[in-house]
């Protein structure tokens, strides 16, 4: 993972970001227009639609699409940061234990509320966030023993913590009643049911703040892309950077998990796809990945809502079905290019 030779000039930053925003706006409009019930988006925005169309658009689709955009952008941003921090192209938000911890917290509420699980959205969200924080704390404690936060130790600690929580979830699902087991299954697949105002507020505050913080540290991430020793010689506090970004981006990911559940491949596939298009300079890569992730999850959720209408697929299933083969194809293409260049 090296920094692209293409300089991050102001003009290039504006062009790349404008293109990413344009793609996102198109995806956002498509997501608002499609669904189990057809809505004439232009008429509704002009105020000429029926009351039912306006209710569907404003009360159901707009909050859901907005949540999908914020979660998708946040997960892609987190993927970019974690891949740089750990110097590992396969690093992604949920590999560090966040999905397991958040899911375990939600499962405890689902089992505790029983048949009322669907009515306990606020408690489930809070428990999922607490579970994410517990997972982050465990990973931090394990990885920081002996001083420092070495990438290999951090990644291994995340895998172990995630495996532990997933085993606990499996045990809880095995012992749960059928209705509870079904609710657990739907949660661990990820989903974007219409979020509450409180959930949207959390995302609207946490996601821009996380993106802004990551963008401010983009020059440091560029230095880290060379190697740690070089970065230290250039005056970078590698340990401090790793601690600060790991904590901050983990909290950002935890907010997404608490609202949407564990949605995979956004933080893995999108950073690689965007990096292949715009290069590895984080000053350009981070905003492009944010809007690319937002567009990807918005369109994936639209597909989840419509492909089996009136039933809905978990959006985590859609991102896995699309992201897994696309990621393999991207890696194969990159290998071909390296072999051709050699």
pLDDT in tens, 284-333: 999 999 999 999 999 999 999 888 777 888 898 899 898 888 888 877 87
Distance of CA 208 to the CA centre of its chain: 13
Domain borders along the chain are 10-341
Q: For position 342, what pLDDT does the model report?
A: 58
Provide the pLDDT for residue 335: 74
**How many other C-beta atoms are found inside a 10 Å radius of the C-beta of residue 264?**
21
Give the model's pLDDT for residue 303: 92
Separation of alpha carbons 20 and 195, rounded Å: 25
Q: Could you tell me which CATH number the domain at 10-341 has?
A: 1.10.3470.10
Contact predicate 264/86, CB 8 Å:
no
Q: What is the pLDDT at residue 77?
A: 95
- Residue 300, token pair as written in the block: 């994936």
pLDDT along the chain (342 residues), means of 10: 59 91 95 79 71 80 94 95 85 81 86 58 79 86 71 82 90 85 82 83 91 93 81 83 86 87 89 91 95 96 87 88 84 72 60
Beta carbons within 10 angstroms of residue 283's beta carbon: 18
Res 129: pLDDT: 86
Beta carbons within 8 Å of 102's beta carbon, 6+ residues apart: 128, 129, 131, 132, 135, 254, 257, 258, 261, 262
């Amino acid at each position: 993972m090296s920094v692209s030779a293409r300089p991050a000039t102001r003009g290039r930053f504006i062009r790349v970001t404008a293109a990413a925003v344009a793609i996102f706006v198109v995806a956002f409009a498509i997501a608002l227009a499609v669904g189990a019930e057809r809505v004439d988006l232009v008429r509704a925005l002009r105020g000429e639609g029926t009351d039912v169309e306006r209710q569907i658009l404003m009360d159901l689709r707009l909050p859901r699409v907005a949540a999908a955009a914020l979660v998708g952008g946040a997960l892609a941003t987190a993927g970019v940061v974690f891949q740089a921090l750990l110097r590992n192209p396969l690093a992604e938000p949920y590999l560090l234990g966040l999905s397991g911890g958040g899911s375990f917290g939600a499962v405890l509420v689902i089992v505790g509320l029983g048949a009322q699980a669907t009515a306990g959205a606020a408690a489930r969200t809070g428990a999922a966030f607490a579970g994410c924080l517990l997972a982050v704390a465990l990973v931090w404690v394990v990885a920081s023993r002996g001083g420092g936060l070495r990438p290999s130790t951090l990644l291994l600690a995340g895998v172990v913590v995630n495996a532990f929580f997933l085993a606990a979830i499996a045990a809880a699902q095995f012992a749960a009643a059928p209705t509870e087991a079904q609710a657990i299954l739907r949660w661990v697949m990820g989903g974007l049911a219409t979020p509450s105002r409180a959930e949207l507020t959390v995302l609207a505050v946490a996601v821009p703040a996380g993106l802004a913080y990551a963008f401010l540290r983009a020059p440091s991430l560029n230095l880290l892309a060379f190697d740690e020793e070089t970065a230290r010689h250039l005056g970078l506090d590698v340990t401090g950077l790793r601690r600060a970004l790991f904590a901050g981006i983990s909290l950002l990911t935890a907010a997404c998990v608490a609202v949407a559940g564990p949605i995979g491949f956004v933080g893995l596939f999108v950073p690689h796809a965007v990096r292949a298009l715009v290069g590895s300079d984080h000053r350009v890569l981070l905003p492009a990945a944010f809007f690319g992730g937002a567009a990807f999850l918005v369109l994936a959720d639209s597909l989840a809502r419509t492909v089996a209408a009136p039933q809905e697929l978990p959006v985590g299933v859609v991102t896995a079905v699309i992201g897994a083969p696309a990621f393999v194809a991207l890696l194969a293409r990159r290998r071909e290019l390296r072999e051709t260049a050699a």
